Chain A
Amino acid sequence: MKKILKIVWLLFISFFLISCIQTQAIENIGIINAAGVDGAESETESNLIETTMAVFQFTTEAEENTKTVSGKGTTIKGAVKDAEMSSIYKLVPGKIKLMLFGEVIAEKGFLPFMDTLARDPRVPDLMYIGVAHPNAKEILMIEEENISTDVGQFLHGIIEHHSNDHNIPRKTLQDFLHVYYDIGHDNILPIFEIVNDVPKHSKNALFQGDKVVGELSQEEITLVNMVERTVKDQLLELSIPMGPFAESTEYKENGQQVDEFEVGLNVIKSTSKTKLKDINNLEFTTDIKIQLRLVEQTAEVAFKSQKSIKLLEKEVKKNLENHLDKLLKKTQELEADPFGYGRHYRKTRQGKDLTNDEWREKFPDINVKYNLDIILVRHGAID
């Protein structure tokens, strides 16, 4: 009985502590769904930033639950505070799904913002990040009628459904910071822009550290993914010269002769392995094993014999190797290493730790030999 009295007494006292806990009742907060950060474009207010947020707020009267608010300040926190002035509820960051950074900030380097976000325990580390062209406000302010859902959901969906597993361009805050602090490895983030009044993931930004230095196309992203990690269920579009397949063609296209034909290939699975062959001459080899499925072709080439299949495999291999070499050249010119060759170098090298600056100097000089192993698994039924 004494024990029970003690517990009752304890409970009674603890009732006085109730008001110490801050409530966040779902109907009394504005839940930020997507946020964007833009830098000021004019020189006079260069340290000013503007945040735009798509916010869920629930009221009985309103038909739409999403509202977009924006505010200005010198820090993100300050800008959010400013934005709260036009919102009836307190804005909370716990369910941000996506954060966009305007191009101005991306070119200046956005690590300061990232770092504060990562340190704030209320901000989810698993939110996706992207770059907005030309600025985030324009994308987040898009009319809901154009996309028939709220913008946060929309952009999140684009990233989620167009990159399998955790391949680029699906980059969370955590992923970004991981790659950023990984010496000899550079980030790629998706770029969103408005095309025909609808936000579109058109291309990708290649980073050097936390600054954008160049752009990569979707096809190039696929190649980066294939070098860096395992890729599954991904479309490849290639142009194949007609010449070798002339005899396999079933009939000529209205008498018109074409030099090239397009093939759509589905990467069933591709795995890669990179090795540093010669540390002094910076020679790398990358073995990629790709299983392919033919899903589309523009010429009526009949793949009836093993010979023609082998021929296609050979052409695909040639084509891909060509593309990979070009991509490497391009990144070497930009001095950004999205493949992470620097990691292999760092792993193998003895002695002093590698620094990012050191690798930036060395990266343009590396040689990579690509050994592609192409297997055309299926070429018949197309779904």
Chain B
Amino acid sequence: MDQQIHLIKSIAGQDQQAFQELYTLYSSKVYNTAISYAQNPADAEEITQDVFVKIHKYAAQFKGESSVGTWIYRIVVNTSLNHLKKKKRFSFLSFGQTETHPSDFDHPGILLENKENARYLFQSIDTLPESQKTAFILSFVEELPRQEVADVMELSLKAVESLLQRAKKNLRDKLENAYPNRRK
């Protein structure tokens, strides 16, 4: 843990080696979270790029009040949500011409036999409200401990549990509606 704080301090001092080390430690965590929100590899790359640029830019402002991991996940969540909002605004202005529909999304890390089911799951995740979506992605896609999810979201443990319960109920309802139209 101290080592990661040291890395951040070195990055603040423009140490490129430290930046590369931090990238090696966190790039897949950042990218995996980003792709779960964006459901599109190109957007996930853009979000990952923005996250690391922000880490580099704001490293000097890191006060160590939370762990480095929590701080980075917070940046990923905010950047991803802002990206989604921006994209929604843009697709409204371009009269609905979007390139990839979320339902076509295949998460690259999912086992082959689960791909079809996971497509329905991500399609349903995409319709969840922001806070439920964040709690679900951090808990079940990133598999973070509940306390860390609570720290990232700056909520109590109880509030996170409640968000997850509501998220699961909403997902179940959406899947029930999707059941008659599923591919057999």
A and B from one complex: no
A interface residues (Cβ-Cβ under 8 A, vs B): none
